[in-house]
Structure 1
């Protein structure tokens, strides 16, 4: 395995992690938690 193959694998792994985080953040299950966190600065 040469360095370019390793770079490709790391790039694809990073992209998959990014997509996973975006999917987690936009999931319907997490929406109430994020809405509550968004209101925190205004509750004081």
Structure 2
């Protein structure tokens, strides 16, 4: 087996992996998860009143 045969096989495997990822991304089953992830920045969950968002405590 020559190096070019190995390169050809790896190219075909990479193409099949890419097509599998694309098929999964556009499948109906993944849509719900993507919609939930898209709404994460808009969730209205406030931190507790005593905590600061950056984790620093006020001295003094």
Structure 1 length-normalised TM: 0.90
5+ residue gaps, structure 1, are none
Provide runs of 4+ in structure 1 moved above 4 Å.
none
Q: CA RMSD in A?
A: 0.8
Bigger helix fraction = 1
TM-score, scaled relative to structure 2: 0.68
Higher relative contact order, structure no. (Cα contacts within 8 Å, ≥ 6 residues apart): 1
**Larger Rg belongs to:** 2
**Gaps (5+ residues) in structure 2?**
45-60
